[in-house]
Structure formats: structure tokens, C-alpha cells
Structure 1
Amino acid sequence: MNTYNLFQLGLFIVVLIAVAIPLGHYMTAVLDGSSVVVRKIGQPVEHLLYRFAGVDPETEMSWKQYAFAVLLFNALGALAVYGFLRMQQWLPANPQGFGPMTPDAAFNTAVSFTTNTNWQDYTPESTVSYLTQMAALTVQNFLSAATAIAVAIALIRGFARHTAKTIGNFWVDLTRTTLFILLPISFVISLVLIGQGAIQNFTSYVEVPTLQVTTYQVPKTDAQGNPVKDAQGNPVMQDVKADKQTIAMGPLASQEAIKMLGTNGGGFFNANSAHPYENTTPLANFVQMVAMLSIGAALCIVFGRTVGDGRQGYAVLAAMTIAFAIGCWGEISFEQSGNPLFTSLHVDQKYSALQSGGNMEGKETRFGIADSGIFTVATTSASCGAVNNMHDSLTPMGGFVPILMMQLGEVIYGGVGSGLYGMLVFALLAVFIAGLMIGRTPEYIGKKIESYEMKMVSIAVLVMPMIVLVGASIGVVSPLGTAGIANPGAHGFSEILYAFTSAANNNGSAFAGLSVNTPFYNVLLAIAMWLGRFVPIVAVLAIAGSLAAKKRIATTEGTLPTHGPLFVVLLLGAVLLIGALTFVPALALGPVAEHLSMISGH
């Protein structure tokens, strides 16, 4: 890793933290209702929405009521998206006349956008109308992100309150998050992206002449589409001149902003953030990366301020930042090293002022290895899934890093909301392990952690590995699963493992060498996405309700400090311990085996 790459990584982390701290202060004020924006500016709109929906904002919910509201709201959201996808041929704002999605693809896509996964096994610019993009997919980008933030806030209240029976009101948390956090910030990011060249229009697709005319031959057919043959039975060929190209248009910038801010990741175009309309310049790329992780980092500040001890939030933020920096260092180093098999062919892969060096396959030259590597780690640390390079083209160990970042539970900053509540679950596990070491009942933020909390922690931590490993096993042994593999051997296994890891963690990125637009994968991955999203959410809300009902206990000499370097190391150890014990055997069969094969000359 050269000095320039280190500078880029350091600059990104500094800017991210500089954005996260004031954003965390603002979010805290919004969510507790003390913000001027909420009290003076947004209150009329907020109350109008509550009155229209029949919601009493003063009535709080128990954890079971909160969980029921979350599940019901998201089930209705999935149904609405499914309806748009199946009926878009009859709806307006469809200038290209796109027809309906197949039932299995629509089911997969509806679940995908509702769960904040945004897994896309279709080509958006040739499948989805403008209205569906805006009214179904973009709306779910806001609501799925707001749902996870609301759950995180409910868990934080569980730590902050004592002897309480309620953890807040889901409808209030959802409304304030959407109106006063996601919408205004997305609006600003949209303007920045438009200023950098992103498109925002409703025009039909544009057909333009190409700079170079290409002529190629295809078999000639008759009026019925049957091939025409000569007297000897050979197909008759005809020349075809390619001198035009269709350029897709649409309301892109507005979707791109919430795609990154809400860690959704679903692209307006199939090439996602590698497309020059979605990610126009290096500055736009930098803005997108900061947006991707800003709320996840800011929620650590919200946590510290809400529980009354800012050091607690900074300790969690420090653990996330250390893990993120190590992941970026590994990813950039592996990609900068390139492929040793090319060296034997006298290909110069060294970095210089004239070239990026290393493995540039599947990467945009305008971003290079450093920006591509940071983006790769950021998108798989968060539950974003947006890509500015082809993950299938990464070196074996370069592919190992994003898979591992997801398999650690996407708690390194993580998705908006889900990253923090996932990390706090690991924090409970860390203090439980520490308590076992010294023979003392574990405590965290003034609350005793007892058997009920640890049962819920076990569910929240273990459900994702179970879904990934069982799903990948079905994909490997089933003929319907192996039929989609384009690359046999270790890499093909990595593609299946990546797909189920991405789905169960609600990430949405893919190696892209696996053909998954089939009923088998559409249904199986949709189930993985739904369970991977909502089983942990129910467990987290159960923890929140239990903690809120507990009394706050006094700190004693035997209490483990959870705001210093020792706890940061313990927390990172708990995260790595679960990931290593659960997934190392599977990783050894995939990217590790492929890496050993590469360095041995095969």
C-alpha cells in the first residue's frame, strides 16, 4: 500500500468522522423532539400526518407492539412494491412501455427493497418504469432505512430508560427520521450529484449516433423468424450496421442520494455506481462513500448522548473505525499486489505516476485501486451493496475481504440503524464473555445482562450464519443452484457463498458471475433476505424491552469500564470470534483455496 493510497484512506476517515459528530448531535435532537426543526418548522406537517394516519404521538409502545408495527408496516410495503412491479404496464410514467416483472422476480425485488437489501438480478434501465423507480423503489429506500434507524433508537432507549414498560412510538420514530433526517440530507446530496453531472429528468431514452460504425454479420431470417438457408443448407448471412446507441434517461439523482445515504445500494442502472451517470466524477464518488457511512457513524454519537455518557458512543465508533481501516488496508493491498501469473508474462503491475498498477480488471480508471478498494469495503461494511467496480474481478483475497466484512454481521459502521444495533448486540456478548472470565454478572450501561438478554443475543447473532450456511449448502447440492455457476471450482463456490451472505445480511452486492434470475434463486434469496432482516429486529426489540424494564445499578470497582481501549479490543475480539468460528471453513473452500491456487501457478 503506497503513500498516496494511505493518504486517500486517511482523508476519507477524517472527513467521515468530521461529518458524523455534528450529524449525531442533530439526529439526537430530532429523535428526542428537542430540535428547533421539529418543534418550530416541521411540527405542523408532522401532526397532520399523525392525524391522517390516526396515530397518537403521545402514546408509546411496548416492545411487542413496536415489533408488530415494524412487521406489519414492512409487509404492507412489500405488497405495495410487488403490485407496482406486476402492474407497471398499465401505470403512467412508463415512456419505454416496459411490461410486468415475472411473479418470482417481482417477489424477490419487493422483499429486497423492503428489507433494505436492494438485491437486483434484473437490468433496471430495461425493466423498471420511471413511476416504479420513484413511487415504489425510491420510497422503500427511505422507509426501509427509517425502519432500521427506529429500531436502533428503540434499543438505545432500552439502555437509557429504567423501570419503563415502553420503548417509544414506532410511527413517531419513522416519521421524524424520514421527514427531518433522510429527506433534507438526500435533497442536498441530490443537488451535489446533479452539479457533478448526474441526470434528473423524465424524458424518453435518447438514440444517438455512435462515434464509430461497426458492421457485423447475423443469420438472415424470413418473415416468420425462421433461418434462411442456401442450396447447400448453410445459413445465409446478412450484414448489420451498428451506428446508433440508446442512452437511458430518468430521475436518477434523487434515487442515487437516498440509495447511498440509506445504505440501500440499488442502482438506477445495472452498472450501479460504476455507471458514469450514477457516479460521475471522483468528487461524486467521495461524496457517495461519505454518505454511505455517515449515518451509521453518527448513530454512535446518538447512542452516547442518549445514554448520558458520550464516551460509550465514542468507544463503539473507535471499534468500528479500527476495523474499517484494517479492512481497507487489506483490500487495497491485495488489489495493488495484482496477479503473480501476469508477472511471469512480463506484465508490469507496479504503481507509478502513469498507472495505478495492480489488478485493474473490472475497475474504473477514473477511480483507481484506492477509491475502488475503499468503496468495496465501505459498501460491504454497511448494508449498502452499491458497487463502483466488479467484485467478481477482484483477486481471490481481494474478494475475501468484502465477504468477511459482511459475515462479521455488517457492524463496521453497518447499515443505517442495523449497524449500531448489531454492534450493541456484540457489546452485550463482549461484556458477557468478560463476566465469565471474572465470575461476575455482566453489566453494560448500568444494566445487568442476564439469561433472557443472552438468549435474544444468541438469536440475533446466530440466525444470519444459519441462513447463509444452510442456503449456500442448498445452492451447492441442488442442480438448480449449480446451473447458475459460470466459473467452476473454488470461485464458483465463492459466488454462491457471496450471494447468500449478501442476502442474509441485507447487503445486495454480488460477485455477478452467478446467474440468479431464476425462480430457484429468486425465492430462496428472498426468504434469506426476509429472515435475515426481521428475525434479528424482533430479537433486538425484545432486548430493548427487557433492558428498559430493569433498574439502573450503580457502578462499582468490579464493573468493567466500557468506554476505554480495553473494551474496544474486547468488542472487536467478540466480533471476530463469531465470524472466524462460523465462516472460516467456508472461506477456506472459496477465496482462500482460490488464492492458494493462484500463487501456485494455476
Structure 2
Amino acid sequence: MSPVLAGVLQFLALLAALALAYRPLGDYMARVYCSSRHLWVEKWIYRAVGADPSAEMRWPAYLRGVLAFSLAGVLFLYLLQRVQGVLPGSPGFAPIDPDQAFNTAASFVTNTNWQSYAGEQAMGRLVQTCGLAVQNFVSAAVGMAVAVALVRGFAARPGTRGCARTGEAPSHTGPLGNFWADLVRGVVRILIPLSVLGALVLVACGALQNFSGLHEVGQFGGGVQQWHGGAVASQEAIKELGTNGGGYYNANSAHPYENPNGLSNLFEIFLILLIPFALTRTFGRMTGSVRQGYAILAAMATIWTVFTALMMWTEFAHHGPAFEAAGGATEGKETRFGIAGSAIFSVATTLTSTGAVNSFHSSYTGLGGGLDLLGMQLGEVAPGGVGSGLYGMLVMAIVAVFLAGLMVGRTPEYLGKKIGTRQIKFAACYFLITPALVLGFTAAAVALPTPGGSTLNPGPHGFSEILYAYTSGANNNGSAFGGLSADTEWFNTTLGIAMMLGRFLPMVFVLALAGSLAGQGPVPQTAGTLRTHKPLFTGLLVGTVMIVTGLTYFPALALGPLAEGLAS
């Protein structure tokens, strides 16, 4: 079987698995977020943190909950790293330096999981399991909670309180629900059960799951290496499922303990895409129109499919005698997965906020590396991170509806809500934040001699490495291009700031937008209302995503990956 055909079959198998899981998981998540029941373990958690899960929360209160919880997570994780040397389960591991501890704490709390350290050489088991793994769960749940709050803003009607035709009364009295209830339910009812199942499958595939100490592993070229064990499979499951991306080992998902074979590789891609795609079904169920969810799904799936096809083409068809002899661009790719398995994984991880890697993105062709960059710069909306992909695409849908209204001279509406000046201002602020962070910090790093000197490659490729780092940080992705010495005070600090601002400033405007929508009454449909569940709107949405991103980032891309790709 040819490698190209094998890649196509892998993609089709992945597509079939996602299609089978789409409806049951999407419907289940809608029931979770609109249920009036509290499980006994949830009630215990509410009492422990002093939260009232039925308290009314308008958007400022919901935002305060998000920010307070996340700040507490940053402080706790920072302290845990600083005292690592005296903690059990950290044999010989020194405390993490202040700048790197800040960077790591900001990274995991913001669902970025950028790592400027070698996991197996820096972090003890207690920090890995009680610090980093816990944040993998709760940071993903925070993103899901914000997305659900925005959906409630669209779905709010007199008497429904943000849930339409789900079969159960909502558990909240405020227009956007209750942050603490959404957070706890996301972890207890969705992420933990799915992670347990995912970890069992990974263990069956050969992933490591133990608490053993150091042991020696032989090398092909002779000699031995020392590796320590750990709860690898369980952390791997939530790292992919929650679109986190932080690897237990430095090699991330290219390490055989984390990703043993081709089957586990395909399963990890499935975990990455599972919840972001299924949330579009949840959106349709909560708004009372599954067709609206299908329209958003179609836009996401179209971009994902096109990017996957282009990535496989750039990596298989690159010209040159060395590439032709090897059957494609094999440099930096794990032979267990091949070009196709690496390309599909690469697109999945950069079109979501996962950041996990099973290959060396810096070794991709110039155009292939550019596709990875562009996937993140789209705002990671195809299907995007857990929660963040849905609310990013919904904000983009508001922009698309607004543009359609301008073209026909009609007040734009979406899901029965008028899109006016206030809503467009919130949407514009949402989209301006990330490019400002990415391009501003990249310009500073290139202009200042010391930060720019941290890259090992001059010219367009070196510029791409710096641009990739800040794109990954500000978009809360976490993957690295490679070749950039990012463990410096400059990069640890500025990337940490970019992660924090890139995560929480957009949430401010998403929740403000949700509150403004929830306060509106429904607008009746007329003959002039744009049918946002039709293929025409899906095409308009895809075009809006690509045009807005292209206009913003194309000059920077032209200086880096495009220049490198056209010169090769």
C-alpha cells in the first residue's frame, strides 16, 4: 500500500470515528449543562469551595469567577514548582527557576501547555500529577464553561433561561448560568469519564502507566539511557482530550512511552478533535436548532479537511532528489507514524489549541510550516480548542452575519438576536487582541539583539521560529517550531504574558457579548432574515475566517514561511 493511500485511509477512519461519536456526545453535553440535578460529589465540591451552584450570575459575576479561579491556579502551580525540591516524588529534582515557573504556571492554567523545559528532566511526579495534570482538567473545563455561557446568551428567551428544548429545566437562575456549576460539571461529568476511557485504551496500546523509579533503556547505537516512569497514559489522555498538549516527556507524542504505535497515534488525534467537534451539536441542542450546529460544524470541517489535504500534499510532493528518494519530506518525522500520520496530527494540533506534537514542525517544508502557523492564526476555530474553538467560531459568525447585513442593507440578526454596534465592538476587540500580541512581541523579539539571538537559524526560517513561538503562546496552542532557545528570561516572561492576555482578555469580550445577547428579546424571522443554517452561510463563514486572518497575518507570513517555501 502506498503511503499516500495509507494516509487517506487513516483520515477516513478518523472521520468515521468522529461521526459516530458526534451525536451521542454532543447531546450528552447539552444535558449536562442544562440539568437541574447535582451529583453528590458535586455538592461536596460546592460546599468545600463555598459556592452556591444555583446563584444568579450575570456576565460580570461569571467573569469574576473565571478570573479568580484562574489566578488561584497560577499562584498554586507557581508555588508547587518553586518548592519542588522538598516535595515527595521528586528525587534529585531542583526547584524550578522563577521565570520558568511563571511561564509554566501561566502556560498550564491558560490551557496552552507551552514547555520550555524537558519534562522528564525537570518536573517530579508530584508536580506532574497534582499540578500539571490537574490544570489539564480545570483549564479545559474553564474554556467549555465560557463557551456554554455564550451559547446561553444566544439561547436566552423568556421562560427558557438559556436552554431551549433540552428536556430538562436549567440549573441556574441567571441569564448565563453559574460558573462554578459549569466548571465542576465539565470536569466531573465529561472530562474525567472520557479521560478514564482514553487512558485505558492508551494503556492497551502500550502507553506507560506506573510510578516506577529510574531504569535504563538500551539504545540502537549502543549505550543506555535513563528514564523514569509515571502516570503517562492518564496524563496523555487528558492532554489530548482537553486540547492541552503538554507532554510528560520532552519528545511529547513522539515518545514511545506516550504514543507507542500507529493505532495510538490515530486514537490521540481522535481525542484531540472529539469534544471541539461535538460541542457544535451541544450548541444546536441548547439553542433549539440542531441545523445551526450543523452549519458551524460544516465550516469547521471544511477548513480542517482542506488544511489536512494541503499538508499531506506539501509533505509528500516536495521536489528534490532527496525527497523523491525518501518518498517525501521525512526529516523530523517519527518513522512509526510516517508522513501521513505526522501530517494529520500536525494539522489537528495546530487547528486546535492542543500543542501536542509527534514530529518536528521546524523540519516541515516551508509551506508545511506555514500551514501550521496559519492554522493557529485562524484563531484555532476548526474545530479549535475545547470551548475556545466554539466561542471563537460563534464570534466569527457574528462578523459574517454583520457583513451580510451590510451587503443587503438590512439590520443583521443571528439566532433571533440583533447584531448591533455593541455586539460588533465586542467582536472586533476579541479579534484584535491576539494579532496585537503576536505581531507586537514578534517585532520586539526581532528588533532586540538578545531575544533574536536565541534562534539557531538566520533568515526567514529564524523569523518563522520567533513568529511561531508568539503565535503559539498568544493563541494558547503550546506547540513549538523548534530551533528556538526559549528558556531565557525574555521568552519565559514575554511568552507567559502573551499566554495570559491571549487567554483571558478574549474571554472578557466573549462574556460581555454573551451578556448583551442574553438581555435582548427575540427578533421574529421575516422573508429578509439570513438563513444561517444554509450552505450559503457556511461558505460565507469560511470565507470570513480566511479573509480576516489573511489580511491580518499575510505580511508576517510572507517574511517567514512563504519566503522560505517559494525559495526552496
TM-score scaled by length of structure 2: 0.95
Structure 1, 45-54 or 102-111: larger mean CA deviation: 45-54
Aligned pairs (5 A) from 1:243-258: 243-258=223-238
Which residue pairs with 1:232 in the alignment?
none
Q: Distance in 2 between matches of 1:361 and 1:348?
A: 9
**Does structure 2 conserve the Cα–Cα contact (< 8 Å) formed by 1:155 and 1:421?**
yes
**Does structure 2 conserve the Cα–Cα contact (< 8 Å) formed by 1:162 and 1:547?**
no
Which residue pairs with 1:54 in the alignment?
50
Secondary structure at the residue paired with 2:193?
helix
Q: Deviation of residue 62 (structure 1)?
A: 0.6
Q: Distance in 2 between matches of 1:252 and 1:4?
A: 28
Structure 2 gap ranges (5+): 162-173
Amino acid paired to 1:330: L
Pairing partner for 1:106 from 98, 101, 104? 101
Q: Deviation of residue 209 (structure 1)?
A: 5.5
Q: Deviation of residue 115 (structure 1)?
A: 0.2
Aligned pairs (5 A) from 1:63-82: 63-82=59-78
**Does structure 1 conserve the Cα–Cα contact (< 8 Å) formed by 2:206 and 2:257?**
yes
Is 1:585 aligned to 2:555, yes or no?
A: yes
Which residue pairs with 1:349 in the alignment?
324
Which residue pairs with 1:173 in the alignment?
182
Which residue pairs with 1:151 in the alignment?
146
Which residue pairs with 1:540 in the alignment?
510
Q: Distance in 1 between matches of 2:154 and 2:209?
A: 43
Using a 3 Å threshold, how does the CA distance of structure 1 residues 93 and 348 change in structure 2: closer, same or farther? closer
Which residue pairs with 1:4 in the alignment?
6
Pairing partner for 1:378 from 330, 333, 348? 348
Q: Deviation of residue 21 (structure 1)?
A: 1.9
Amino acid paired to 1:30: V
Q: Deviation of residue 87 (structure 1)?
A: 0.4
Which residue pairs with 2:268 in the alignment?
288
Which residue pairs with 1:221 in the alignment?
none
Q: Distance in 2 between matches of 1:182 and 1:135?
A: 16
Pairing partner for 2:371 from 401, 408, 429? 401
Pairing partner for 2:86 from 90, 97, 111? 90
Sequence identity percentage: 51
Q: Deviation of residue 244 (structure 1)?
A: 3.4
Which residue pairs with 2:247 in the alignment?
267
Structure 1 gap ranges (5+): 214-242
**Does structure 1 conserve the Cα–Cα contact (< 8 Å) formed by 2:292 and 2:532?**
yes
Count of aligned pairs: 552
Secondary structure at the residue paired with 1:349?
helix
Q: Deviation of residue 211 (structure 1)?
A: 6.3
Aligned pairs (5 A) from 1:214-363: 243-338=223-318, 340=319, 342-343=320-321, 347=322, 349=324, 357-363=327-333
Q: Deviations over 1:353-411 (max 9, x none)?
A: xx7x1001111112111111110000001000000100010000010111001001000
Amino acid paired to 1:349: E
Q: Alpha carbon RMSD of aligned pairs, Å?
A: 1.4
Q: Deviation of residue 210 (structure 1)?
A: 5.3
Structure 1, 195-204 or 174-183: larger mean CA deviation: 195-204
**Does structure 2 conserve the Cα–Cα contact (< 8 Å) formed by 1:273 and 1:387?**
yes
Q: Distance in 2 between matches of 1:196 and 1:537?
A: 38
Amino acid paired to 2:211: F
Secondary structure at the residue paired with 1:246?
strand
Using a 3 Å threshold, how does the CA distance of structure 1 residues 262 and 211 change in structure 2: closer, same or farther? closer
Is 1:188 aligned to 2:197, yes or no?
A: yes
Q: Deviations over 1:264-308 (max 9, x none)?
A: 000000000000000011111111101001100011000000000
Which residue pairs with 2:393 in the alignment?
423
Q: Distance in 2 between matches of 1:308 and 1:404?
A: 33
**Does structure 2 conserve the Cα–Cα contact (< 8 Å) formed by 1:334 and 1:395?**
yes
Q: Deviations over 1:549-598 (max 9, x none)?
A: 10011110010000010000010111011111000111011011111221
Q: Deviation of residue 9 (structure 1)?
A: 1.8
Using a 3 Å threshold, how does the CA distance of structure 1 residues 348 and 369 change in structure 2: closer, same or farther? closer
Pairing partner for 2:407 from 437, 446, 453? 437
Using a 3 Å threshold, how does the CA distance of structure 1 residues 158 and 27 change in structure 2: closer, same or farther? same
Which residue pairs with 2:170 in the alignment?
none
Which residue pairs with 1:31 in the alignment?
33
Q: Deviation of residue 162 (structure 1)?
A: 3.1
Q: Deviation of residue 454 (structure 1)?
A: 0.5
Pairing partner for 2:117 from 106, 119, 122? 122
Which residue pairs with 2:168 in the alignment?
none
TM-score scaled by length of structure 1: 0.90
Q: Distance in 2 between matches of 1:585 and 1:124?
A: 35
Pairing partner for 1:364 from 314, 334, 337? 334
